Every structure is written in structure tokens, then in C-alpha cells.
């Protein structure tokens, strides 16, 4: 078994993984992702006990217990590039012997649930409701750095590419399913919708927002809104889900993304109290997870 070089698997002087500043014993097998580092304590305040806390750059982690279940909450920052760091380093913590720098013979699978905010693309998914992403649609291109064809929903991806008349010079769209077991656990709430969550590589132009720069395709958002294939449609836009799903599938982890809708792009509305809505989603998700 080949040893992984120091240049590829970077550790801090104390032996923790480079960006996340974590050691294997610092994380639980169930991990909640949030984007904002300030949202980490908003999740952890519900914990009965807290055993560990650290932060490096935008990556903040708190591990504790909620109703007897050990859970970690970790801030990823924004975007698929950050997800690439977080997913690979978390996987290394559980599936690589950091001292020997070799891959462990026995694989450990993490359960990862994202709690994030998002904008709805349809009138019938109002603000303050939630979207459970059955699929993640990647418009960012990050996953293509890996050998990933076997985890992509090709028929669905090809249908989206055809419907939107996707230009060949842009990163090829990809769609990856979540882990169905987590859908069974997290679905069912009165405010919970299901659909395809679109993941963009940016906040403005990549999501169709215009300030001073012209868009490559002014009709792209309406094409995305109108996409429907075998009962599947794109419900909302954010910047992390497809990367989480793709890398989780490749690395053998379970993942699901829960999005609090704070804006409705279809009717131009914004939540009157987005903090309250996010708090409701946090409580909903934590209570569902302890039943699993």
C-alpha cells in the first residue's frame, strides 16, 4: 500500500488535518454542514453537551451530543471549491491513517446533512418553507476533476443540458442523487418540499443576477425554471449541494441537503424573519436525525 506524500495530505504541526484543524477523534460520524461560521453555535446551542470546538479560517467545528446522539456541526464557507476541501479532509480523518499516511483497510461512512439557505424558483415553494434536495444539479464543473461518471444521473443530466441549450464551452452540468435513506429520515414535514437543488459556482452572474455585468445567457433562469423531466424539476438555487452529493457518492458517504427558502425568485419575495425560519429548520433536522 503506497504512502501518501506530505505535499498531498497536508497536516498541521499538531497532527491535525490542514484546513479543518481537526483530528479523527474530534468528529462524530454524523455531521451537519452550515455555510456561515456564525451558524455553528446556533446549531450547537441545542446540544446537551459540548466536548470539542475549533476554528481555522472559515472552518469552525463544534462536536457534542443532542438527545444522546453524538453530532458535529461544521461551517464550510461558500461554494463548491470549499466543499472540495471539506469533503476530502473529513474523509481523510476517518479513512486514512494520518500517522502512517496510508488508506485504511476498513471504510468508515459518514452521515452528512447540510442545513443552508436558498432561493426558490417557483411560486408554489414559498419563503420560510424547506427544500429537501433529492438531487443536486452542478453548474460549477468542480466534480469533473474526478473520475465521476458512475455517480452521475446521466439521463437526467442530458435532459437538462438539452432543455437549456447548454453551450459546449461552459462546464458540463451534472446531476447526482442524495442518499435515499436520508430522504426517508428527513422528509415528511408539512413545510418540506422535494426537488432538484441547483448549485452555482457564484452568487451573481452564475445565478442570473445582473448588476453591472451582462449575462452570457439572459434566458437561462427561465430555462431552468421550466425544466421538467419525469416528474423532476429544479426547485431552488444555492452554492454547495451538488458538490456535497458528488463527493459523498465518490467517497462512500451518505449526504442530504436541507435548504431553508428565504427568497422566492419567481415572485420577488424575501422572508420577513429568515433567522426564525433557519432556526425552525435546525430544530426540525436535529430532531429527525436522532430518530435515525
Here the CATH number for the domain that contains residue 153 is: 3.40.50.1580
Q: Is the CB of residue 258 less than 8 Å from the CB of residue 289?
A: no
Q: For residue 36, is it within any domain?
A: yes
For 81-103, what is each residue's pLDDT tens digit? Answer: 999 999 999 999 999 999 999 99
> Position of cell 459523498?
248
> Position of cell 418553507?
129
For 177-225, what is each residue's pLDDT tens digit? Answer: 999 999 999 998 889 999 999 999 999 999 998 999 999 999 999 999 9
Q: For residue 66, is it within any domain?
A: yes
Closest CA to 43 of 11, 21, 66: 66
pLDDT the model gives residue 134: 97
Q: For residue 18, is it within any domain?
A: no
How wide is the angle at C-alpha 60 spanned by C-alphas 189 and 9, nearest 5°? 110
pLDDT the model gives residue 189: 80
pLDDT the model gives residue 13: 97
Q: For residue 67, is it within any domain?
A: yes
pLDDT the model gives residue 237: 87
Tell me: pLDDT of 266 over 90.
no
Q: For residue 13, is it within any domain?
A: no
Q: For residue 226, is it within any domain?
A: yes
Q: For residue 162, is it within any domain?
A: yes
pLDDT the model gives residue 22: 98
Tell me: pLDDT of 123 over 90.
no
**Average confidence score pLDDT of the chain:** 96
Domain count, the chain: 1
Band (pLDDT 50/70/90 cuts) for residue 169 is: very high
Q: What is the distance between the alpha carbons of residues 255 and 253, in angstroms, rounded to a whole number? A: 6
For 31-53, what is each residue's pLDDT tens digit? Answer: 999 999 999 999 999 999 999 99
Tell me: pLDDT of 292 over 80.
no
Distances, alpha carbon 167 to alpha carbons 145, 162, 172, 174, 233, in Å = 19, 10, 9, 14, 20
Tell me: pLDDT of 119 over 90.
no
Q: For residue 176, is it within any domain?
A: yes
Closest CA to 246 of 172, 147, 167, 131: 147
Q: Which domain holds residue 158?
A: 24-289
Tell me: pLDDT of 265 over 90.
no
pLDDT the model gives residue 66: 98
Amino acid at each position: 500500500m503506497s504512502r501518501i506524500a506530505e505535499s498531498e495530505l497536508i497536516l498541521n504541526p499538531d497532527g491535525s488535518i490542514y484546513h479543518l484543524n481537526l483530528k479523527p477523534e474530534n468528529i462524530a460520524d454524523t455531521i451537519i454542514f452550515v455555510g456561515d461560521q456564525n451558524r455553528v453555535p446556533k446549531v450547537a446551542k441545542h446540544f446537551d453537551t459540548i466536548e470539542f470546538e475549533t476554528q481555522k479560517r472559515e472552518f469552525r467545528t463544534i462536536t457534542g451530543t443532542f438527545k444522546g446522539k453524538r453530532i458535529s456541526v461544521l461551517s464550510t464557507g461558500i461554494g463548491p471549491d470549499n466543499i472540495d476541501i471539506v469533503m476530502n479532509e473529513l474523509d481523510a480523518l476517518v479513512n486514512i491513517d494520518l500517522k502512517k499516511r496510508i488508506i485504511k483497510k476498513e471504510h468508515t461512512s459518514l452521515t452528512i446533512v447540510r442545513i443552508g439557505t436558498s432561493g426558490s424558483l417557483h411560486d408554489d415553494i414559498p419563503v420560510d418553507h424547506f427544500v429537501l434536495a433529492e438531487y443536486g444539479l452542478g453548474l460549477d464543473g468542480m466534480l469533473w476533476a474526478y473520475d465521476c461518471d458512475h455517480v452521475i444521473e446521466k439521463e437526467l443530466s442530458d435532459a437538462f443540458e438539452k432543455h437549456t441549450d447548454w453551450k459546449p464551452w461552459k462546464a458540463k452540468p451534472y446531476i447526482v442523487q442524495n442518499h435515499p435513506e436520508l430522504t426517508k429520515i428527513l422528509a415528511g414535514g408539512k413545510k418540506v418540499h422535494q426537488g432538484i437543488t441547483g448549485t452555482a459556482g457564484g452568487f451573481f452572474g452564475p445565478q442570473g443576477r445582473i448588476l453591472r455585468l451582462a449575462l452570457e445567457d439572459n434566458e437561462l433562469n427561465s430555462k431552468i425554471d421550466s425544466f421538467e423531466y419525469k416528474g423532476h424539476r429544479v426547485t431552488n438555487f444555492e452554492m454547495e449541494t451538488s458538490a456535497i452529493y458528488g463527493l459523498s457518492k465518490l467517497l462512500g458517504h451518505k449526504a442530504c441537503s436541507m435548504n431553508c427558502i428565504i427568497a422566492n425568485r419567481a415572485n420577488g419575495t424575501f422572508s420577513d424573519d429568515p433567522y426564525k425560519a433557519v432556526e425552525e429548520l435546525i430544530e426540525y433536522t436535529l430532531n429527525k436525525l436522532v430518530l435515525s
